């Protein structure tokens, strides 16, 4: 693999985005109370450059970076690629890097860790000293963690987990958050900490390098510190926490350390969520007690504003879920030609392209997809043949509307695992993470005669000879039409 | 100074008048503490001039209610076990 030149920190990433025109510096003062959130939301809905807000009301010295990865251009920049790279090119690069050898992190001395430039311990610990934004009007609180990693370690297996579990500031030393029971942290809590009544040490890292954030968001079986190294082509630098044994990214902007309480909960939510709704109501949820805060000089807090498409949660989660499913299906010998989730599906619909070489292949794909660790995060799988361009929604939609037989092509899976955030689920199902899922099989049945039973697609590309296509294409402007981009 | 508070309820019936309630409220006073919570014993009234402080209400998905109350915070309640404070 050639030398990768990816931004190693949030600061390098901002610089690269400003240089390419994919971020704008906002010099005027911005209010943390709704205004910053509204800017980020509008940026997401317009697909605009990421806002780097340099002056925050009440919080001199701090800044915000919003919508860090809500476009494929910024995703390409984060990987050290040309911003104009296409989605298939970015996906191919992700697969190449994440199929390489794991790169272990390195531990650095705290003197070499910028995140230790300011250390608050004991009575100095106060979350209100950080510019925690009210992201959406009507949210249950100011959200500390919207684009970050909650770092924990399994006490027995030693697995390190970096996950994006939203965290709301309840008071100056307490946060509450949504942790699903099927998530890595949820399993560690329910399997180990809660039955024993033991607190679970955690560290929240905010303002990560974009690839560390990508790793924290990806549903990969590879531990996130190694995955970050593989994506970046070099080891991620970690440093020991002040108050527990966890290791955190040394170049992160802000670190919050503490303990997840095993037997005490405070209220959390509601919050504008990635589905584009506030679905989960206020409830008593996992509670984080804070013991220390460390941060860089002039720290930049990252903000993701989830809502209607498209934000970085939808973009990145769709991207990584699709590619991780592609890896899984290929590992099982399924002849998939590609997997894609449109971010605008709010990562709910998986589109799988496959060579339909045997009967039941769509069902096999759906069973693997829904039965995997990835499964609770989406509830629709659509399987199309290798002639359909999975990245072209017009083609996929046409295949769905014409080839999916209402009786034989739609298969509902009942009593599966779902998230509490599904807007279509009942309140009861949401409370207990009960899901249901559906397969849309858009393949021609393999027992249909290919000549006499399978309909012929009538399109410019399919029904005319290459000679005619070339003639028409070459004469297009002569006919009086504008050139096709 | 009059304080402005906010409470989230699933049902307006949670704000019964004429009795002591235990509520989780957040401050809407300007400044760095805005939106931080506390658990309190309080009385509320739909008569806006009955108590000195004002209470704004939001419903389960964050919708702002058009009903306004006045509130008297009697005392702070410490729910968190001593060992975690």
Whether residues B84 and A264 touch (CB distance < 8 A) is answered with: yes
Whether residues B8 and A267 touch (CB distance < 8 A) is answered with: yes
- Asked if the structure places residue A305 within a domain, the reply is no
Cα gap A348→A378, rounded to integer Å: 4
Q: Which of A169, A278, A279 sits opposite B36 (nearest CB)?
A: A169
Q: Which of B8, B35, B81 sits opposite A134 (nearest CB)?
A: B35
Share of chain A above pLDDT 90, in %: 97
Structure tokens at A75: 């995703």
Question: Looking at the complex, does the CB of residue A57 fall below 8 Å from at least one CB of chain B?
Answer: no
Q: What pLDDT is attached to residue A281?
A: 87
Chain B residues contacting A via beta carbons under 8 Å: 8, 10, 24, 26, 31-38, 58, 60-64, 79-81, 84
pLDDT digit string (tens) for A65-76?
999 999 999 999
- Say if residues A35 and A48 touch (Cβ distance below 8 Å): no
Q: Which of B37, B61, B84 sits opposite A278 (nearest CB)?
A: B61
Which CATH number characterizes residue A430's domain?
3.40.1670.10
Closest-CA residue in chain A for B81?
Answer: A264
Whether residues B35 and A171 touch (CB distance < 8 A) is answered with: no
Cα gap A412→A415, rounded to integer Å: 10
Cβ contacts from A onto B, under 8 A? 59
Whether residues B62 and A134 touch (CB distance < 8 A) is answered with: no
Q: What pLDDT is attached to residue A2?
A: 67
Q: Note whether A134 and A253 are same-domain residues.
A: yes
Domain boundaries, position A153: 70-296
- Asked if the structure places residue A266 within a domain, the reply is yes
Instruction: Indicate the pLDDT class of residue B1, thresholds 50, 70 and 90.
Output: low
Whether residues B62 and A278 touch (CB distance < 8 A) is answered with: yes
Phi, then psi, of B53 in degrees rounded to 5? -90, 155
pLDDT digit string (tens) for A409-438?
999 999 999 998 999 999 999 989 999 999
Question: Looking at the complex, does the CB of residue A201 fall below 8 Å from at least one CB of chain B?
Answer: no
Q: Note whether A358 and A407 are same-domain residues.
A: yes
What would the mean pLDDT of A447-474 be, rounded to a whole number? 95
Structure tokens at A434: 């009960």
Structure tokens at A419: 């998230």
Share of chain A above pLDDT 70, in %: 100
Q: Note whether A262 and A344 are same-domain residues.
A: no
Mean pLDDT (chain A) is 96
Cα gap A136→A33, rounded to integer Å: 9
- Asked if the structure places residue A7 within a domain, the reply is no
Q: What pLDDT is attached to residue A485?
A: 83
- Asked if the structure places residue A30 within a domain, the reply is no
- Residues 253-272 of chain A whose Cβ lies under 8 A from any Cβ of chain B: 261, 263-264, 266-267, 270
Phi, then psi, of A339 in degrees rounded to 5? -135, 135
Closest-CA residue in chain B for A263?
Answer: B81
pLDDT digit string (tens) for A299-344?
999 999 999 999 999 999 999 999 999 999 999 999 999 999 999 9
Of residues A322, A315, A324, A317, the one with CA closest to residue A343 = A315
Report CA torsion sign: A422, A426, A427, A430: negative
- Asked if the structure places residue A312 within a domain, the reply is no
- Domain ranges (residues) in chain B: 4-84
ipTM of the complex: 0.97
Cα gap A67→A313, rounded to integer Å: 9
pLDDT digit string (tens) for A167-199?
999 999 999 999 999 999 999 999 999 999 999
Q: Note whether A383 and A435 are same-domain residues.
A: yes
Q: What pLDDT is attached to residue A1?
A: 56
How many other C-beta atoms can be found within 10 angstroms of the C-beta atom of residue A400?
18
What would the mean pLDDT of A239-250 be, rounded to a whole number? 98
Q: Which of B35, B61, B84 sits opposite A141 (nearest CB)?
A: B35
Three-state secondary structure call for residue B13: helix
What is the count of structural domains for chain A?
Answer: 2
CA-only gyration radius of chain B, Å: 13
What would the mean pLDDT of A457-482 be, rounded to a whole number? 96
Q: What pLDDT is attached to residue A194?
A: 95
Task: Return the DSSP state at A226.
Answer: H
Q: Note whether A283 and A337 are same-domain residues.
A: no
Mean pLDDT (chain B) is 96
Task: Return the DSSP state at B84.
Answer: G
Cα gap A477→A459, rounded to integer Å: 20
Q: Which of A139, A171, A270 sits opposite B36 (nearest CB)?
A: A171
- Say if residues A309 and A42 touch (Cβ distance below 8 Å): no
Instruction: Indicate the pLDDT class of residue B69, thresholds 50, 70 and 90.
Output: very high
Residue in A60, A144, A171 to test binding to B, most B beta-carbons within 10 Å:
A171
């Amino acid at each position: 693999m050639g030398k990768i030149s990816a931004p190693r920190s949030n600061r390098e990433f901002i610089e690269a985005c400003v240089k390419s025109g994919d971020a704008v510096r906002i010099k005027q003062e911005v209010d943390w109370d709704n205004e910053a959130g509204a800017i980020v939301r509008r940026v997401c809905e317009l697909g605009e450059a990421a806002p780097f807000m340099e002056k925050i009301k009440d919080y001199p010295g701090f800044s915000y970076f919003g919508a860090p990865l809500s476009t494929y251009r910024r995703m390409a920049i984060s990987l050290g690629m040309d911003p104009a790279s296409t989605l298939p090119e970015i996906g191919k690069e992700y697969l190449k890097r994440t199929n390489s050898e794991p790169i272990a992190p390195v531990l650095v001395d705290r003197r070499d860790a910028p995140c230790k430039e300011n250390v608050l311990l004991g009575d100095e610990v106060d979350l209100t000293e950080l510019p925690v934004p009210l992201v959406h009007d009507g949210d249950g609180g100011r959200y500390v963690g919207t684009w970050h990693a909650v770092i924990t370690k399994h006490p027995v297996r030693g697995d390190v987990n970096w996950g994006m579990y939203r965290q709301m500031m309840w008071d100056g030393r307490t946060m509450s958050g949504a942790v699903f029971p099927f998530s890595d942290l949820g399993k560690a809590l329910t399997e180990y900490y809660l039955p024993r009544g033991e607190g679970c040490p955690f560290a929240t890292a905010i303002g990560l390098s974009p690839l560390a954030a990508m790793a924290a968001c990806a549903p990969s079986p590879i531990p996130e510190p190694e995955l970050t190294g593989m994506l970046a082509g070099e080891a991620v630098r970690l440093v020991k926490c002040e108050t527990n044994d966890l290791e955190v990214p040394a170049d992160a902007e802000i670190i919050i350390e503490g303990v997840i309480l095993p037997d005490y909960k405070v209220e959390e939510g509601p919050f504008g969520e990635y589905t584009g709704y506030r679905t989960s109501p206020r409830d008593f949820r996992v509670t984080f007690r804070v013991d220390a805060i460390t941060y860089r000089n002039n720290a930049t807090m990252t903000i993701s504003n989830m809502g209607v498409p498209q934000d970085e949660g939808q973009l990145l989660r769709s991207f990584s879920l699709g590619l991780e499913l592609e890896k899984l299906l290929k590992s099982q010998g399924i002849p998939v030609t590609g997997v894609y989730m449109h971010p605008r599906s709010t990562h709910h619909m998986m589109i799988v392209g496959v060579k339909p070489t045997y009967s039941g292949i769509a069902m096999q794909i759906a069973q693997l997809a829904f039965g995997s660790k990835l499964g609770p995060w989406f509830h629709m799988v659509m399987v199309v043949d290798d002639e359909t361009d999975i990245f072209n929604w017009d083609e996929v939609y046409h295949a769905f509307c014409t080839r999916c037989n209402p009786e034989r092509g739609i298969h509902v899976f009942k009593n599966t695992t779902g998230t509490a955030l599904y807007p279509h689920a009942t309140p009861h199902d949401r409370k207990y993470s009960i899901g249901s899922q559906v397969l849309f099989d858009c393949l021609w049945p393999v027992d249909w005669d290919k000549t006499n039973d399978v309909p012929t697609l009538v399109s410019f590309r399919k029904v005319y000879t290459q000679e005619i296509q070339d003639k028409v294409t070459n004469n297009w402007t002569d006919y009086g039409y504008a050139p096709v981009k | 100074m009059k304080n402005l508070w906010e409470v989230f309820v699933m049902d307006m019936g949670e704000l019964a008048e004429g009795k002591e309630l235990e509520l989780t409220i957040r401050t809407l006073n300007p400044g760095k503490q805005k939106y931080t919570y506390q658990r309190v014993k309080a009385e509320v009234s739909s008569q806006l001039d009955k108590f000195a402080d004002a209470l704004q209400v939001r419903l389960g998905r964050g919708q702002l209610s058009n009903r306004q109350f006045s509130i008297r915070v009697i005392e702070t309640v410490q729910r968190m076990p001593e060992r975690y404070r």
